Amino acid sequence: MSELITAIPTGITAFIATNLDDLVILTLLFSQANATFRRQHIIIGQYLGFCTLVIASLVGFLGGLILPSHWIGLLGLVPISIGLNCLLNPEINFLSDVESEIQLSDSSTFASFLSPQAYSVAAITIANGSDNVGIYMPLFANSTFSELLVIISVFLLLVGVWCYVTYKLTCQKEITNLLTRYGNNFVPFVLIGLGVFIILDSASLTPIALIATCLCLMGLIKIIQIYKFKVQSL
């Protein structure tokens, strides 16, 4: 029984130590919520991404094979791509589906699971938490099955707490005004910086290779933009 009680502060400590930076990212995401990029997309995406990290850690715990950390680090290209797209196309709101390719109702939770917005948040969560796997694996490996269940339960509870706290932050008038006025301007740079840090920290690409990749992404975004313009003008 004492081991299970000890597992609670262990889970809290491990979560806080590995997810402090998510407070900033979630606050930015909630500040960009609109008609097509909704709060439920952020919450569902955060849970999807975090559960993926936990499952990856469990696979390692059970003795299976997982992707090398530098492969996971390549997911840093996701926030870089989103940031570059926002920077090169300033008329597009952050993570919004401007073409409204899918119609979602406020009550359609299942549809939110299938939305690209939720998947985008999940991808950012996974990329930003690529180092979590390296911490969770030894933590899980040194835990009994009952302790493992307690730790994972604590993790899932704290994900909800993180979402609630960051949402409440955006409800503060001063913070909301600041993020509304300047959010669209610095969000692309935050995402690009986040992706660069993830890739360099995981040694997924060399700085030169990263610069070349970013230039290629910029070119690809521009080509897609030109193609969409030509299609719309037909």
The DSSP string of 61-84 is HTT-----HHHHHGGGHHHHHHHH
Q: What is the pLDDT of residue 21?
A: 73
Cα separation, 53 vs 130, whole angstroms: 8
Per-residue burial over 49-63, b if 16 or more Cβ lie within 10 Å, else e, is bbbbbbebbbebbee
Among candidate residues 123, 121, 75, 88, the one with its CA nearest the CA of residue 221: 88
Q: What is the pLDDT of residue 2?
A: 67
Cα separation, 145 vs 143, whole angstroms: 6
Contact (Cβ atoms closer than 8 angstroms) between residue 62 and residue 164: no
- Burial grade of 19 (CB within 10 A; 0-12, 13-18, 19 or more): buried
Q: What is the pLDDT of residue 65?
A: 42
Cα separation, 162 vs 181, whole angstroms: 24
Cα separation, 125 vs 118, whole angstroms: 11
Two tokens at 151?
A: 């730790």
Q: How long, in residues, is the chain?
A: 234
Q: What is the pLDDT of residue 183?
A: 59
Ranges under pLDDT 50 in the chain:
63-65, 93-112
Two tokens at 119?
A: 């998947």
Contact (Cβ atoms closer than 8 angstroms) between residue 95 and residue 117: yes
Two tokens at 229?
A: 């313009």
Contact (Cβ atoms closer than 8 angstroms) between residue 125 and residue 45: yes
Q: What is the pLDDT of residue 212?
A: 94
Q: What is the pLDDT of residue 62?
A: 64
Residue found by looking up tokens 């992404």 in the block: 217
By three-state DSSP, how is residue 129 classified? coil
Two tokens at 177?
A: 């005004």
Contact (Cβ atoms closer than 8 angstroms) between residue 43 and residue 154: no
Q: What is the pLDDT of residue 164?
A: 92
